[in-house]
Amino acid sequence: MSQLADILVVDDLHTHYSTPQGTARVLNGVSLRIRPGEVLGLVGESGAGKSVLARSILNLIDPPGRVVKGRVLFDGQDLLTCREPVLRALRGNAIGLIVPNPHLHLNPVVTIGEQIANVIRAHRDVSRHEAMAEAVRYLEKVGLPDPATQARSLPHELSGGMAQRVIIVMSLVNSPKLLLADEPSGGLDVTVQLQILELMRELVTGRQTSMLLISRDLGIVAHYCDRVAVLYAGQIIEEAPVDVFFAEARHPYSLELLRLGSPKHMNLQRLGRGDPALNPIHRPTGCPFHPRCLLAIDRCKVDMPETDVLGDHHSVRCHLARRSSFGASS
């Protein structure tokens, strides 16, 4: 119950994709809020819909995908009903996006300095010269050696870590109020991952930048976020401040994650493979987790659990949330 208005409110978001096999309900009623200056971590397995969520927020879902229901309020404005010029002005400006696989997202024939300058000049009226100079300054800030020369290199000349830093610069260069960081360290070496995350933390603290940090790794979320939200089968099944989550998670899925340490590990197990809930076309009835849930009761197979607020900014979607005899593992 903060005094300041939430910078981002996602309200009952449903995003569907049409496929030859049927309609994939990738996001099935996602709701979350982020306060100014807050870092919300979003964890989920591959296929849970994390990237789709980031793209839905920016209203960048292209056919065969479609946002069929819901609202995305940024600073009070519903991005899903805005006109394109308004959206264009917000993207890369007030809202920044970091993506994984940087080489996939950079223009292979344009120098990185110029690409950063392009982001600057898309939103501010500065000369090319000034924009390039600012790009070089940022490259230095993120730790690229010899930034002036690097600014003239092409993406394929950079390592994964360096290219990811370029993406980070591009997302931050216009001082966004909200940063959507979709697996910012995904696909990188463990050591590089840490560097990137530390770098991001440095860059956003003190600026009151809010961040949605999307990750498959619970450890990262624990370290860098204020609150955690767990995405499963297109829904947020639990949400809590970080320490509360780690001490008192309620949802059986959250407990599995905590036990295994990271959704990444879950993918390798039989549990992850062929998980019926993760088929977005044919979601199970009732609670999506019930086929995998060790505690499922009859009701779980039929009724979709509503969001249950357990107090202290902690909410869960589970019929058994208020059970008394079940505590979180220590």
Partner 1 sequence: MIRYILGRVAILPVQVLAVLLFTFILSRLTKQSPAFYMAGPYATQETLARVESQLGLDKPIYVQFGVYVANVLRGNFGVSVITGRSTLADITDRLPATLELITISLVLAVAIGLPLGILTAFKSSRIAGGLTTAYGLLAGSFPDFVVGILAVFVFYTTLHWATAPVGRIDASVIPTKLTGSYFLDGILTGNLAAVQSSAAHLVLPVLTMLVVYTGGIIKIVRTSVRELRTSEMVFYAKACGFYERTRLWYVLRNALPPIVTITGVTYGVLIGAAVLVETVFGWGGVGQYSVQAIAFSDFPALQTFVIFATTFSLVVYIVVDILQVVINPRLRY
Q: Which of 99, 136, 158, 213 binds partner 1 (CB under 8 A)?
A: 99
Residue with tokens 């809590």: 240
Q: Which of 50, 91, 216, 250 binds partner 1 (CB under 8 A)?
A: 91
Residue with tokens 């995350």: 197
Cβ(165)–Cβ(199) under 8 Å?
yes
Return d(Cα 132, Cα 112) in angstroms, integer.
Answer: 10
Q: Determine the size of the site formed for partner 1 (CB under 8 A).
A: 28
Q: How far is the CB of 109 from partner 1 (least distance, A)?
A: 6
Give which of 107, 94, 90 is closest to 167, Cα–Cα: 107
- How long a stretch of residues is the chain? 330
Binding part of the chain for partner 1, among 40-48, 55-63, 232-240, 285-293 by CB under 8 A, reads: 55-63
Residue with tokens 């099935």: 28
- Beta strands in 114-189, from DSSP E residues, in sequence order: 178-182
Q: How far is the CB of 245 from partner 1 (least distance, A)?
A: 29
Return d(Cα 290, Cα 304) in angstroms, integer.
Answer: 10
* Residue 299 binds to partner 1 (criterion: CB under 8 A): no
* Residue 101 binds to partner 1 (criterion: CB under 8 A): yes
Q: How far is the CB of 233 from partner 1 (least distance, A)?
A: 25
| Nearer residue to partner 1 within complex by CB, 76 or 108 | 108
* Residue 46 binds to partner 1 (criterion: CB under 8 A): no
Q: How far is the CB of 157 from partner 1 (least distance, A)?
A: 8
Q: Show the binding pattern over residues 136-175: x = contacts partner 1 (CB under 8 A), - = does not.
A: ------------------x-x-------------xx----
| Nearer residue to partner 1 within complex by CB, 67 or 230 | 67
Q: Which of 104, 247, 268, 281 binds partner 1 (CB under 8 A)?
A: 104
Strand order across the 77-78 sheet: 22-34, 8-19, 65-74, 77-78
Residue 46 makes CB contacts below 8 A (sequence gap 6+) with 216, 263, 267
Letter string b/e over residues 39-68, b meaning 16 or more CB atoms within 10 A of that residue's CB: bbbbbbbebbbbbbbbbbbbbebeeebebe
Return d(Cα 238, Cα 319) in angstroms, integer.
Answer: 12
Q: What's at 150, amino acid-wise?
A: Q
Binding part of the chain for partner 1, among 98-106, 187-195, 207-215, 275-283 by CB under 8 A, reads: 98-106
Binding part of the chain for partner 1, among 74-82, 97-105, 236-244, 277-285 by CB under 8 A, reads: 97-105
Binding part of the chain for partner 1, among 9-17, 91-99, 132-140, 214-222 by CB under 8 A, reads: 91-99
Binding residues vs partner 1 (CB under 8 A): 55, 58, 60, 62, 88-93, 97, 99, 101, 104-110, 118-119, 122-123, 154, 156, 170-171
